[in-house]
């Protein structure tokens, strides 16, 4: 039996969340006495200060996110919804964001959450000299973060419309989680071994990287908002099983109740009696030509070549064969269905090998002068699966139209280092025109893309991370910066949708596929608010309700 | 004997220095840790600060000497998460060592009788069976065997647990998966040793004296045939320690192998370095002990 997750599945839970978030009195469901066992590929994080990581690793999040709360969360449609903050507003000049912090929220040790805790948590992650967190990248534009009463003020040196996203659960990763300053001052770094959060679960123990035991936070002194988020199961055990066949076996033997499944295992399990939940658009992938705008001799400066390389890809065929139907062609990168700024109505590039050959011939490439490309790809745990296999399939599509394609399967960090070190062919003006480097990227399907795209496509040479030449093709950066400076959420969404359409019209990126995340669940599990789709690991475990 | 001992100790030391040096440089070939540790969004200035804090801004030779002098003091440095590497490794060692021991027990319990029976009943169905087991054991990859064991004994028969953490019974499948190749090795070794011994004059003499067959086999033949097996067993423990990476991953076993795999995936270079060095130390030490035992047992070696 298989069921596809939709927002309807969890309407009740989401509704109660939103009600609670808005301050409405919500009923406090009691936690079931039962135990829930979930499985993750990897489990780390106890004893590790979150500021010492580039981002909270996906292997931490299965337990971390249920123990700690964020100031802002994102709903299933990607909208920002209140969590520890009840509201946030920007000043007229766009330089100050003020967050109003929810009152009466309790930490697991009984301390009351204060605005000072929020400011302290955020200041640490951005400004602490020991911080290596992603959020340190915001430091140059953040002037100060201070607390006054129940409000936190973030003052920036230039207007920053994206500030609320920095602290949201998804885009900010661990950046927006709030920790107790008083507890830290009391126990120091022991805090990271015995974490105290405000979340629906509290950590009881952790057996190395093998398992974590959590118990529902049921203190009567909790705020109404916290009571509205009472965990469905009183006890939660999260087990780590790095091998996918082991995870499947744990589900089949009844040793686990919720298990993330590799796509390769899903087909086998269909019809086996195991119930499957498919979360569409969990991960996404894109490919782009590194020579465009950076190397004047690159064939990618010719729009016909860019289009030819995109429409030569049989996206649906790859979705059906490589992903066994658990993926679909995408029309834009970071603009998937339901996301903020989704370009509604924009169709994925149609597969048209004949036109592709024609365009290449017009651009001067045929059997006597075949176009050469090198596809650079990496498989990254937690991101889009089967990337390397997809690259091989694309190379096959290219071979069909006479393009000589090779696939360079690398390690993620090595690829990134080469990318930002301008080592791939086409990244320097004097590089030979071919082979064209086609860089493939996969990632979880976040609902906010501007900063990510801006990192790649704005001139940021001081940082050393630019893969774009602003002088040659300034419109990309201008559009992204305009979106970053737009404070009206709806207008911003429209600008993002326009951006995606403009990218598609100019064939600037090759959106590939979005893939589903698939979970196997036991008969113990009822509803589950999967919330933001872009998570391939078991998350939001507090919202899992016992089956009736 | 003293010269032999000194020579072997020197060889072991040189081996360790070579491996430590190799690991140091290989790990650094994989990329800039400051770039990896810090996000792509981080300003260059912050990356430089981190490199300085980690000592990565110093010349490579300085880093190397600092690293080697740390090794002499048994200081393997700190993991990128701030914990001392030695503490992390020592915490994982019992799980790997106990699994290696269990695998050795499996290898001996299954390998010895198979080898003996195969030699005693040479050419029989038992011999064929034993040699088939040996062939299977030496040709089947441990990860495939591990997955098959889980499928058969956990998923279908529900006899043993899928993964680590449910008591002593969780040792059964991983120890078989790791020890199976050694079962094959021991069975073949015992078979060939026994065949040599069974054809020897003193065994024929024992038979001629009318001793019962089981006494001839166990008391006279087996005792002589066991010596190379003991040597082999010492070496397989070393291979268990470094060869369990994949099996530990399949069974979610919290040992050195899985730690190494996780550290590689997480680019935690100090832990990778430390784990490789620790495994190398085990292997070299076990080899050294075996060599010395051999020299003790066989005087021809120490004068050779």
- The predicted-structure confidence for B107-135, as pLDDT tens digits, reads as follows 989 998 898 899 888 889 988 988 888 88
List, in order, residues 6 or more apart from B254 with CB less than 8 Å away: A207, A208, A209, A210, B92, B95, B164, B248
Q: For residue A250, which residues of chain B lie inside 8 Å, CB to CB? A: 162-163
Q: Lowest mean pLDDT of A140-144, A449-453, A459-463, B234-238, name the range.
A: A459-463
Q: For residue A139, which residues of chain B lie inside 8 Å, CB to CB? A: 43, 46
Q: For residue A457, which residues of chain B lie inside 8 Å, CB to CB? A: none
CA distance A310 to A305: 9
Q: Lowest mean pLDDT of A44-53, A160-169, A206-215, A346-355, name the range.
A: A44-53
Residue A451 confidence (pLDDT): 62
What is the average pLDDT across A432-446? 86
List, in order, residues 6 or more apart from A350 with CB less than 8 Å away: A311
Q: Cβ–Cβ of A463/B44 closer than 8 Å?
A: yes
Q: How far is A133 from chain B (nearest CA, A)?
A: 6
Q: Distance of CA A217 to CAs A31, A85, A202, A228, A232, Å?
A: 9, 20, 6, 12, 11
- Hey, what are B26's tokens? 């290989």
**Any idea what the Cα angle at residue A435 is, between residues A433 and A440, rounded to 5°?**
115
What is the average pLDDT across A109-138? 89
Q: Does an H or E element contain B246, and which?
A: helix B245-250
Q: What is the ipTM of this complex?
A: 0.74
CA distance A417 to B55: 20
List, in order, residues 6 or more apart from B193 with CB less than 8 Å away: B115, B119, B224, B225, B226, B227, B228, B229
Q: Does A57 touch chain B (CB under 8 A)?
A: yes
Is the pLDDT score of B239 beyond 70? yes
Q: Lowest mean pLDDT of A122-126, A140-144, A270-274, name the range.
A: A270-274
What confidence tens digit (pLDDT) does each residue in B182-215 have?
Answer: 888 888 888 888 888 888 888 888 888 888 888 8
The upper half-sphere exposure of residue B253, i.e. CA atoms within 13 Å in the direction of its Cβ, equals 31
Which DSSP string do the residues of A385-442 spell out, in sequence order? Answer: TTHHHHHHHHHHHHHHTT-EEEEEEE-HHHHHHHHHTT-STTSSTTS-S-SEEEEEEE
- Hey, what are A166's tokens? 């920095």
- The one-character DSSP state at A135 is G
CB pairs under 8 A between A and B: 130
Taking a C-beta distance cutoff of 8 angstroms, is the pair A63, A274 a contact? no
Longest CA pairwise span in chain B (Å): 87
List, in order, residues 6 or more apart from B275 with CB less than 8 Å away: B89, B256, B259, B260, B263
The 3-state DSSP class for residue A292 equals coil
Strand partners of residue A327: A515
**Any idea what the Cα angle at residue A387 is, between residues A386 and A389, rounded to 5°?**
65
Q: For residue B263, which residues of chain A lie inside 8 Å, CB to CB? A: none
* Rounded percentage of chain A residues whose pLDDT exceeds 90: 42
Residue A395 confidence (pLDDT): 97
Q: How far is B281 from chain A (nearest CA, A)?
A: 24
Residue A517 confidence (pLDDT): 86
Is the pLDDT score of A399 beyond 90? yes
Q: Cβ–Cβ of A48/B81 closer than 8 Å?
A: yes
> Mean pLDDT for chain B?
83
Looking at per-residue pLDDT, the higher value among A536 and B262 belongs to B262
Nearest to B185, CA basis, from B238, B125, B144:
B238
List, in order, residues 6 or more apart from A89 with CB less than 8 Å away: A97, A98
Peptide bond just before A192 cis, omega within 30 deg: no
Beta strands in A130-199 (DSSP E): 142-148, 151-156
Which segment, A173-187, A276-290, A351-365, is predicted with the most confidence on average?
Answer: A351-365
Confidence of residue A25 (pLDDT cuts 50, 70, 90): very low
Q: Cβ–Cβ of A134/B41 closer than 8 Å?
A: yes
List, in order, residues 6 or more apart from A323 with CB less than 8 Å away: A263, A386, A513, A515
**How large is the angle between the packed helices A489-505 and A475-484, nearest 10 degrees?**
160
Residue A26 confidence (pLDDT): 40
Q: Cβ–Cβ of A208/B91 closer than 8 Å?
A: yes
Q: Cβ–Cβ of A136/B261 closer than 8 Å?
A: no
Confidence of residue A534 (pLDDT cuts 50, 70, 90): low
> Mean pLDDT for chain A?
83
Q: For B37, which of A54, A246, A249 is closest by C-beta distance?
A: A54
Q: Does B161 touch chain A (CB under 8 A)?
A: yes
Residue A45 confidence (pLDDT): 60
CA distance A500 to A335: 7
Residue A535 confidence (pLDDT): 61
What is the average pLDDT across A88-92? 93
Q: For residue A463, which residues of chain B lie inside 8 Å, CB to CB? A: 41-44
Q: Does an H or E element contain A261, and which?
A: strand A258-261
Residue A260 confidence (pLDDT): 87
Q: How far is B4 from chain A (nearest CA, A)?
A: 43
Which DSSP string do the residues of A15-61 spell out, in sequence order? Answer: HHHHHHHTT-----PPPEEEEEEEEES----TT--GGGSSS--TTTH
């Amino acid at each position: 039996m298989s069921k596809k997750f939709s927002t309807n599945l969890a309407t009740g839970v989401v509704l109660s969340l939103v009600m609670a978030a808005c301050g409405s009195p919500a009923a406090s469901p009691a936690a079931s006495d039962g135990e829930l066992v979930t499985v993750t590929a990897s489990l780390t994080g106890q004893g590790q200060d979150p500021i010492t990581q580039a981002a909270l690793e996906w292997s931490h999040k299965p337990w971390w996110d249920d123990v700690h709360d964020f100031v802002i969360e994102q709903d299933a449609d990607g909208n920002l919804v209140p969590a520890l903050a009840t509201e946030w507003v920007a000043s007229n000049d766009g330089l100050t964001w003020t967050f109003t912090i929810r009152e009466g929220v309790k930490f697991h040790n009984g301390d009351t959450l204060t605005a000072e805790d929020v400011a302290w948590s955020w200041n640490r992650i951005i400004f602490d000299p020991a911080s290596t967190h992603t959020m340190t990248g915001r430091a140059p534009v953040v002037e100060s973060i201070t607390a006054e009463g129940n409000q936190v003020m973030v003052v920036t040196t230039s207007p920053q419309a994206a500030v609320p996203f920095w602290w949201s659960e998804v885009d900010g990763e661990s950046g927006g989680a709030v920790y107790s300053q008083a507890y830290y001052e009391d126990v120091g770094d022991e805090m990271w071994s015995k974490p105290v959060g405000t979340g629906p679960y509290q950590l009881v123990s952790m057996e190395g990287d093998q398992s974590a035991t959590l118990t529902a936070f049921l203190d009567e002194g909790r705020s109404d908002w916290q009571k509205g988020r009472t965990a469905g199961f009183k006890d939660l055990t999260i087990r780590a099983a790095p091998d996918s066949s082991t995870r499947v076996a744990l589900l089949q033997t009844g040793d686990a109740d919720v298990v993330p499944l590799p796509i390769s295992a899903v087909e086998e399990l269909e019809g086996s009696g195991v119930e499957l939940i498919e979360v569409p658009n969990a991960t996404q992938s894109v490919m782009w030509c590194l020579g465009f705008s950076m190397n004047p001799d690159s064939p990618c400066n010719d729009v016909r070549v860019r289009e030819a390389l995109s429409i030569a890809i049989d996206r649906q065929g790859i979705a059906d064969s490589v992903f066994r139907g658990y993926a679909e062609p995408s029309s834009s990168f970071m603009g998937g269905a339901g996301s903020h700024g989704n370009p509604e109505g924009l169709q994925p590039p149609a597969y048209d090998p004949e036109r592709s050959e024609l365009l290449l011939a017009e651009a001067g490439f045929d059997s006597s002068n075949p176009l050469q490309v090198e596809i650079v790809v990496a498989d990254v745990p937690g991101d889009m699966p089967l990337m390397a296999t997809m690259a091989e399939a694309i190379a096959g599509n290219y071979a069909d139209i006479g393009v000589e394609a090779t696939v360079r399967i690398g390690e993620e960090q090595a690829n990134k280092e080469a990318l930002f070190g301008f080592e791939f062919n086409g990244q320097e003006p004097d590089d030979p025109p071919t082979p064209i480097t086609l860089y493939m990227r996969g990632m979880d399907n976040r609902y906010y893309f501007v900063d990510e795209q801006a990192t790649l496509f704005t001139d940021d040479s001081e940082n050393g991370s630019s893969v774009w030449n602003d002088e040659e093709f300034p419109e990309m950066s201008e559009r992204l910066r305009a979106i970053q400076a737009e404070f009206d959420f709806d207008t911003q969404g429209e600008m993002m949708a326009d951006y995606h359409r403009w990218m598609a019209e100019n064939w600037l990126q090759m959106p590939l596929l979005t893939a589903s995340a698939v979970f196997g669940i036991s008969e113990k599990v009822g509803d589950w608010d999967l919330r933001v789709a872009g998570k391939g690991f078991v998350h939001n475990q507090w919202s899992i309700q016992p089956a009736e | 004997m003293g010269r032999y001992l000194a020579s072997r100790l020197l060889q072991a030391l040189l081996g360790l220095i070579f491996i430590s040096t190799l690991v140091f440089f290989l790990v650094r070939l994989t990329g800039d840790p400051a770039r990896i540790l810090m996000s792509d969004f981080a300003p260059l200035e912050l990356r430089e600060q981190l490199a300085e804090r980690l000592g990565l801004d110093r010349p490579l030779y300085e880093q190397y000497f600092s690293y080697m002098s740390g090794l002499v003091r048994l200081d393997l440095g700190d993991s990128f998460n701030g914990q001392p590497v030695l503490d992390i490794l020592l915490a994982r060692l019992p799980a790997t060592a106990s699994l290696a021991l269990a695998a050795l027990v499996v290898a001996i319990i299954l390998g010895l009788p198979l080898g003996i029976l195969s030699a005693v009943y040479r050419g029989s169905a038992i011999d064929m069976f034993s040699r088939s087991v040996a062939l299977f054991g030496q040709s089947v990859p441990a990860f495939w065997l591990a997955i098959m064991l889980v499928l058969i004994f956990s998923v279908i028969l529900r006899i043993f647990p899928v993964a680590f953490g449910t008591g002593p019974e969780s040792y059964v499948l991983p120890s078989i998966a790791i020890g199976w190749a050694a079962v094959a090795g021991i069975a073949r070794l015992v078979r060939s040793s026994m065949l040599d011994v069974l054809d020897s004059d003193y065994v024929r003499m024992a038979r001629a004296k009318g001793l019962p067959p089981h006494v001839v086999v166990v008391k006279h033949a087996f005792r002589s045939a066991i010596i190379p097996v003991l040597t082999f067993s010492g070496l397989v423990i070393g291979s268990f320690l470094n060869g369990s990476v994949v099996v530990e991953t399949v069974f979610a076993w919290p040992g050195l192998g899985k730690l190494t795999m996780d550290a590689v995936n997480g680019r935690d270079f100090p832990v990778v370095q430390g784990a490789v060095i620790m495994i190398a130390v085990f292997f070299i030490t076990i080899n050294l002990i075996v060599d010395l035992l051999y020299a003790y047992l066989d005087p021809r070696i120490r004068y050779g």
